[in-house]
Amino acid sequence: MKEMNSLRRSVYDAAMSRLDCIFTDFDNVCVSFSGGKDSGVLLNLCLDYIRRRQPGRRLGVFHIDYEVQYRETIDYVDRVLASNADVLDVYRVCVPCKVSTCTSMFQNYWRPWEPSKRELWVRPLPAEAYTQDDFDFFDDTLWDYEFQIRFTEWLHRRNRAGRTCCLIGIRSQESLNRWRTVHSDRNYKKYKGLQWIREMKHGIFNAYPIHDWLTTDIWVANGRFGWGYNRLYDLYYRAGVPLEKQRVASPFISQALSSLHLYRAIDPDMWGKMVSRVNGVNFAGLYGRSSMMGWYSIKLPPGMTWEGYLDFLLKTLPEPTRRNYQRKLAVSVNFWREKGGCLSDETIKKLEALGIPIVVGDHSNYKTNKRPVRMEYLDDIDLPEFKELPTFKRMCICILKNDHTCKYMGFSLNKVEKKLKDQVMEKYKALK
């Protein structure tokens, strides 16, 4: 117990030291606040720091409101913003960006606060919200993640800042992608050699002050300091949702579908409005944890190969959706043929033992001990490394999940998407 307390004190001390660096070196600081536990703790750390060490200083808080949220989340956000008005400059943003949805094969995104669907909005527009008319850069092609990048630039100009720092409450423990966000050296500049501060554009930085915190550290901090938190987590706990799956995010992304049904029990009024708001919500809520959605105990129809089943599934899709999956599959097939995916020596030996034709390279351009392996797509394979290998079965699962971005597959972006992403990264995250 003593060691655990020491650990927790150390991550708290480390976070406060990082905040000291941020509030000393940056004249414009803004916290990204979702209403979740991590961003809530980060915001509380900043508020405590300012009140104790830099009284009178203002702190920006950026909250992108996705319209559809649990009432508990809405109430929590309202409480936090209202009770800290003496410190906070609030940017509560309600804009009709494109936001990913996996509830329907006919629709790969939806738009919160879409003006043409005002009669379907699940709740009124919050008071003092920033709308699309407040941002000269807004256009209806922007995805939500692109808007967030543009917002930081807008805030930098608006405040005529010398250096702007956006604080983000991600933790490396949560996923490999988040670990990479903090620790990858690709395409980013460190600030003063600090791994947890990255230059996104000249004068604009992202910082991750609690990247080394664990989930237990988050809840210990809330308890020890008496901080308020989103009571939705209490309801999640009572509903039996594991700690690692208790998330406050858009309810329509693939990671959230398995718990979408909870809206019916936790917030039935919101559920009733969601059903008519986004295509496929009711079906996904009913079957999001079942084989009907494709990620539990999927079985191959009798007399079919997985490649044949894939062809069948593609023919059932609307034309735009079908073309999207076909493009992604083509990119992936070409990638495994020409470049190869990085696999461990253990996995390579297993493939060789099964007699699967592969070409193993010496080294990869990525920072990994794994080696590049070129191979053709398999129909299926019974190995623990199933999710690392290219199979038509994985593609079938992806379609059945309505995973339009093929995140489950770990697919590379198609050429069009890669070009668009490169353009965004070049313009908004480019090196000097």
Please compute the mean of the pLDDT values over residues 134-153 and round it to a whole number. 93
Tokens 């922007």, located at residue: 142
On whether residue 415 sits in a domain, the answer given is: yes
* 41-55, 100-114, 146-160, 175-189: least confidently modelled range: 175-189
**Which two three-digit tokens encode residue 323?**
């073309």
CA angle 17, 18, 21 (to 5 degrees): 90
- Looking at per-residue pLDDT, the higher value among 153 and 415 belongs to 153
Most confident stretch, 79-88, 194-203, 258-267: 79-88
Residue 103 and residue 213 share a domain = yes
pLDDT in tens, 270-309: 555 666 565 544 333 333 344 434 444 567 778 889 999 8
| 102 CB-near residues (< 8 Å, 6+ apart) | 252, 253, 254, 257, 284, 401, 402, 403, 404
User: pLDDT-derived band of residue 397, with 50, 70 and 90 as boundaries?
Assistant: confident
Contact predicate 340/374, CB 8 Å: yes
- Looking at per-residue pLDDT, the higher value among 411 and 385 belongs to 385
**Which two three-digit tokens encode residue 186?**
């690709």
Q: What is the CATH number of the domain that holds 141?
A: 3.40.50.620
Q: Domain boundary at 181, 200, 225, which?
A: 225
Residue 210 and residue 92 share a domain = yes
pLDDT of res. 291: 40
| Distance in angstroms (rounded) separating the CA atoms of residues 414 and 283 | 29
Whether pLDDT at 85 is above 70: yes
| Distance in angstroms (rounded) separating the CA atoms of residues 25 and 191 | 10
Whether pLDDT at 429 is above 50: no
Evaluate if pTM is beyond 0.85. no
Residue 319 and residue 193 share a domain = no
Tokens 């060490």, located at residue: 53
Residue 109 and residue 20 share a domain = yes
pLDDT of res. 431: 39
Whether pLDDT at 91 is above 90: yes
Contact predicate 147/63, CB 8 Å: no
Residue 16 and residue 139 share a domain = yes
**Which two three-digit tokens encode residue 320?**
């735009």
On whether residue 171 sits in a domain, the answer given is: yes
On whether residue 70 sits in a domain, the answer given is: yes
Contact predicate 32/62, CB 8 Å: yes
Which structural domain range is residue 411 located in?
306-428
**Which two three-digit tokens encode residue 326?**
């076909």
pLDDT of res. 424: 47
Residue 318 and residue 211 share a domain = no
On whether residue 185 sits in a domain, the answer given is: yes
Residue 217 and residue 110 share a domain = yes
Instruction: State how many domains the chain has.
Output: 2
Contact predicate 357/347, CB 8 Å: no
Contact predicate 302/92, CB 8 Å: no
Residue 315 and residue 167 share a domain = no
Whether pLDDT at 312 is above 90: no
pLDDT in tens, 24-48: 999 999 999 999 999 999 999 999 9
Please compute the mean of the pLDDT values over residues 252-273 and round it to a whole number. 54
Contact predicate 289/261, CB 8 Å: yes
Q: Which amino acid is at 27?
A: D
Q: Which DSSP category does 378 fall into? A: B
Q: Domain boundary at 225, 257, 292, which?
A: 225
pLDDT of res. 22: 97
Residue 46 and residue 181 share a domain = yes
pLDDT of res. 179: 58
Residues β-bridged to residue 207: 167, 197
pLDDT of res. 65: 92
Whether pLDDT at 427 is above 50: no
Instruction: Tell me what percent of the residues of the chain surpass a pLDDT of 90.
Output: 44
Residue 161 and residue 12 share a domain = yes
| 134 CB-near residues (< 8 Å, 6+ apart) | none
On whether residue 263 sits in a domain, the answer given is: no
pLDDT of res. 257: 46
User: pLDDT-derived band of residue 109, with 50, 70 and 90 as boundaries?
Assistant: confident
Tokens 């009140």, located at residue: 51
Whether pLDDT at 81 is above 70: yes
Q: Domain boundary at 162, 191, 225, which?
A: 225
- SS3 string, 278-310, reads CCCHHHHHHHCCCHHHCCCCCCCCCCCCHHHHH
